[in-house]
Chains A and B, each alone.
Chain A
Amino acid sequence: MTTVCINGISQSFDEGTLIVDAAKALGFDIPTFCSHPRLDPVAVCRMCLVEVEGQPKLLPACATPVSDGMVVHTESDTVKNTQESTLEILLANHPLDCPVCDKGGECQLQDQAYSYGAAESHFDENKRRFHEADMPLNKVVVSNLNRCIQCQLCVRYCDEVVGAQALGAIGIGADTTVSGFMESLENCDQCGNCIEVCPVGALMSLPYRYKSRPWDLKEVDTICPFCATGCQVTVGARDRELMRVRSKSESGLNREALCVRGRFGLDFTTQTEHRIQQPMIRHNGNLVSVSWDEAFDFIHEKVTHINKNKQSIGGLISPSMTNETLYGFQKLMQQVFGSQLIDSFCRWPLGQAYPVLGRLIDDFYSRKPLEDILGVDHCIILGCNITDENPVSEYMVREAHHKNNLSLSLLTTRPTRLDRIAEHVQRYLPGEEVELIKPIFDKTDSQKLCVLLGTDIFRSPRVNQTLLTLESVLFSLQTGGKHVDLQFLLDRPNQLGAWDLGIKNGIDFETMLKQSSSGDMGMLYVVGEDPLLSCPDGYSVAESLQKLSLLVVQDSFMSETAKVADVVLPGFTFAESAGTFTNNEGRVQRVRPIYPPPTKTVMNVNRADIIYSTPGPSKAKRDTDIFNELSLSFDKNLGLSSLEVVFSEIAKRVPEYQDIDVSAIDEAGAFSKNKTSARLALSGLPDGPDPSPNESKTSSSLNQCNDQTNTTEGANIYAATATATNRGIFKLITGNCMFHSGYLSEYSPTLTSIADKAYVEVNEQDAITLNLKDKDLVTVSRASHVANLQLKTNKHFPPGVAFIPENFKSVQVNRFIHSTEDSSIIKIEPALSQKIEISLITQAATGAKKNQGKFMGGRG
């Protein structure tokens, strides 16, 4: 502790506390432009200069730590004069175009000139002008360099936090500008964090341009729905128009940072023309609009004809739904349809792995802030291209590495941006992770480590073995006295919530499909999921669904599965829903409605073979209300009346959430608790399976692990596959790309304008071998499924491997994948036709209304 005296007040502070922070703690605000809590101090704007007794010069408060006995003056005449002159100097060349500047009203230069500046300027020369018209640097960032005050926050944030290294300071001296390579940011992450940190109107959001004044916005705090990092977003809207998305620096794990999806992708919720607006039932092969009562009656009638002794009823719900919807759906399935067959993860079959997944969560999962988790010595990231899948979590890992020397090991299928700072990097093909997990743990002897487990692990048919191996490794580390924290890096915003609420105790969707194809399943109720696009073996999914006597799809947007459904029920989008998400940290956070549901109907896109909407008011409802009303038509009452009621039921029945009062959840969220610890606290509660792994299980999985380790093929796997590429044969891996997540982001006009082309990414050398280069059009094929995609080359990509993002509907990447294969084999060759396959959605979004040929799996 060091004791300092600031403006006459003495107080002790921790060693290393900066003067600016110490002063703030004592109630003295020191103005700054270039200082940012997440960035190393640079002390370049000179706004924060203060007097320190005994020092010949004024010192920058943002970069000078307090020392014992230091006497500081932050409000002396010298300091005030300096602030005045620094502002005058900064304003000399700053244009006085505040009335037309988007930053007006929330501009730091404006605010500080008001608080600390002189009344008038002596400057009577011409101001420097770099350019006349503002310059768009890409689809989302527009720059006005005349306003730039060279604080370099954008450049430093892009480098130190985002790691994109896309922005730079160009030129020297008074001619310095901030820009991208050759004055373009076309190839950057487009995350817009540079816009957020810009203290003036030098970097601005193109989608928000000239749209509103900050004080005219109605802002709502909610949670980003694009991955399970769970970033807090503050959405500014007017009526049903989305103006902009930002994030507050003082709350949320993301502390102001967002990725491109969070900042620019929420406009998918405004795309009313793709919404399901009325309940529909299939009549004479077509979907026709009906009233809610007619729809419920239709379901009731069909269900009564299902012989429940012979045929089962299954439910599939998206892990992008709120906890309340997930809970309500389970209640509906159990109490109305008498079914326990519910799954919430249909992209890869997890069924066999649910027991070990449950044990991993109960025994090893750390439900605490990621920032705390990253406070260990070593971090192991397993199976996640964290850069693309969970960008903001990645920012935090980078920061922990930078600030706390956190060392990293990566076991990933694709190159990530953390590779260059990681101690160990191991590439693998899906399936190989089983053998590689133990070795990657063996490489570190850190006493305190954390494991971040990514979605790729769950994308493999060997997920069960992988998790068993991981369990045994974690078990032995723990018994060896090491500190291990485990957290997931999941891609759907409420996946952990879905598992917590008991989904992992059901059966998996693959089993349901098998039942369906053998005629053993009578009805399937799908909420917010699109198995026709997401489930492996795309063709057979369609066949299985056709065998059902009743397929109910409840969704906000017209999904591919909805198009083949018997009943389609219009639900709310994320932007209209209230509820909670549980993020990767186990933090339960409030999802708040951004705007009311649409009242007016916009005509849906008409298709020759499907009419799925007639003009009329939108009849979309809250998902839990649909469950409730449906239950009434079955003479049951689920009682899902309000968010508070539903959540208090959850808190009663789900041990992880037992202490949480939903109405008390503030911006910090509420942390759920692990079942084991919850059980300890509530010892004596009757129900629930034994969460601890029994010993025989553990030892058997250990044996299994050892067996497999002995047969590890190791590094030569690439050499083997590399030769295969000569014939254009690649092993396929899939996942989310940086600009999209799931299937809804394709509805976002902004994200689609950034990334509208589905692509296939391969190693640069592989491409050269095939006489192909970056951006070439290629044909990707497997058996009868063919897609024309743009080629993306990457010199860091593992040879013999191709990546196709899951996010582009038109590609139907699930038709390349078989659920039993570690990695599917695809062929890449120069394009047969020169047309990039564009998804129906994109085309519709861009205004083209051409019929794009036949749909998949129509049930006409």
Chain B
Amino acid sequence: MSSLLIASSSQTPDEYFHPDLRDQINEIALRYPERRSAVMPALHIYQERFGYISQQSMEEIADILDMAPVQVYEVTSFYHHFRTEPVGKYHLKICNNISCMLMGADCLIGHIQQILQLKCDETTRDGMFTLSTAECLGSCDTAPVMQINNDAYCEHLDAEKLNKILRSLENKIE
């Protein structure tokens, strides 16, 4: 599975200055009395576009919202969702909080680690999968739960179901 090689289709943040994002962020900023409030929406927009928040992204956001770059960095680094490093194409986030833990989340995590041959917060060498644990996803009645990227949850997981999901993602890649 980890032998798959796929060229990343997402844009790299190296291209200097993104007028479309600037316009989008400026528009969002209008919804708040202070421009600075648009910093989280801006970070979401940049992360969605580039997969993570680069130094340059932070500088651009600081410029758009008239903030000091370190203030953008402070916000970026505070929230677990924002990443300053690229992650795999599929970011598997498995909840291991109490309810999911009681329903066997640890076993699932061990299972994925074995299949994908990686530890938590690592990315497969082909850049396809990153595994992380997540804090409670708010779906404890369907535990154990996993979220892939920012999509709908995978619920009532067990090893079999997990295998099926990973296989279908693999097929998507091919």
* Chain A contact residues, CB within 8 Å of chain B: 165-172, 180-182, 420, 795
Most central of B55, B63, B70, B79 by chain A CB within 10 Å: B70
Say yes or no: A168 contacts B71, CB within 8 Å.
yes
Say yes or no: B77 contacts A166, CB within 8 Å.
no
Smallest CB gap from B78: residue in A: A172
| Inter-chain contacts of B73 with A (CB < 8 A) | 168, 170, 181-182
Say yes or no: B80 contacts A168, CB within 8 Å.
no
| Inter-chain contacts of A420 with B (CB < 8 A) | 66
Say yes or no: A171 contacts B78, CB within 8 Å.
yes
Interface residues of B in 136-163 (CB under 8 A from A): none
Say yes or no: A180 contacts B70, CB within 8 Å.
yes
- Min Cβ gap B40→A in Å is 14
In the bound complex, what is the Cα–Cα distance between A166 and B74 (angstroms)?
11
Nearest 9 A-B pairs (CB), nearest first?
Answer: A165-B68, A168-B70, A168-B74, A181-B69, A181-B70, A170-B77, A171-B77, A172-B78, A181-B73
19 pairs of residues in contact across A and B, judged by CB atoms under 8 Å:
A165-B68, A165-B70, A165-B71, A166-B68, A167-B70, A168-B68, A168-B71, A169-B74, A169-B78, A170-B73, A171-B77, A172-B78, A172-B79, A172-B80, A181-B58, A182-B55, A182-B73, A420-B66, A795-B63
- Min Cβ gap A554→B in Å is 46
Cβ contacts B41-75/A at 8 Å (1 or 0 each): 00000000000000100100001001011110110
Size class of B's contact patch? 10 to 19
Smallest CB gap from A185: residue in B: B70
- Min Cβ gap B71→A in Å is 6
In the bound complex, what is the Cα–Cα distance between A167 and B71 (angstroms)?
8
Interface residues of B in 66-107 (CB under 8 A from A): 66, 68-71, 73-74, 77-80
In the bound complex, what is the Cα–Cα distance between A181 and B70 (angstroms)?
4
In the bound complex, what is the Cα–Cα distance between A722 and B58 (angstroms)?
30
Most central of B55, B78, B79 by chain A CB within 10 Å: B78
Q: A168-B73, A168-B74, A180-B70 are in contact. List 9 more A-B contacts (CB 8 A).
A: A165-B71, A166-B68, A168-B68, A169-B78, A170-B73, A181-B58, A181-B70, A420-B66, A795-B63
In the bound complex, what is the Cα–Cα distance between A165 and B63 (angstroms)?
14
In the bound complex, what is the Cα–Cα distance between A614 and B77 (angstroms)?
60
- Min Cβ gap A674→B in Å is 41
- Min Cβ gap B168→A in Å is 34
In the bound complex, what is the Cα–Cα distance between A172 and B82 (angstroms)?
12
In the bound complex, what is the Cα–Cα distance between A344 and B66 (angstroms)?
42
- Min Cβ gap B22→A in Å is 14
In the bound complex, what is the Cα–Cα distance between A165 and B70 (angstroms)?
7
| Inter-chain contacts of A795 with B (CB < 8 A) | 63
| Inter-chain contacts of A166 with B (CB < 8 A) | 68, 70
| Inter-chain contacts of B80 with A (CB < 8 A) | 172
| Inter-chain contacts of A180 with B (CB < 8 A) | 70
In the bound complex, what is the Cα–Cα distance between A182 and B59 (angstroms)?
10
Smallest CB gap from B73: residue in A: A181
In the bound complex, what is the Cα–Cα distance between A171 and B73 (angstroms)?
9
Smallest CB gap from B84: residue in A: A182
- Min Cβ gap A190→B in Å is 15
| Inter-chain contacts of A170 with B (CB < 8 A) | 73-74, 77
In the bound complex, what is the Cα–Cα distance between A438 and B105 (angstroms)?
73
In the bound complex, what is the Cα–Cα distance between A182 and B53 (angstroms)?
12
In the bound complex, what is the Cα–Cα distance between A775 and B69 (angstroms)?
19
In the bound complex, what is the Cα–Cα distance between A795 and B70 (angstroms)?
18
In the bound complex, what is the Cα–Cα distance between A538 and B63 (angstroms)?
40
In the bound complex, what is the Cα–Cα distance between A165 and B67 (angstroms)?
9
In the bound complex, what is the Cα–Cα distance between A815 and B15 (angstroms)?
42
Most central of B55, B58, B69, B79 by chain A CB within 10 Å: B69
| Inter-chain contacts of A168 with B (CB < 8 A) | 68, 70-71, 73-74
| Inter-chain contacts of B58 with A (CB < 8 A) | 181
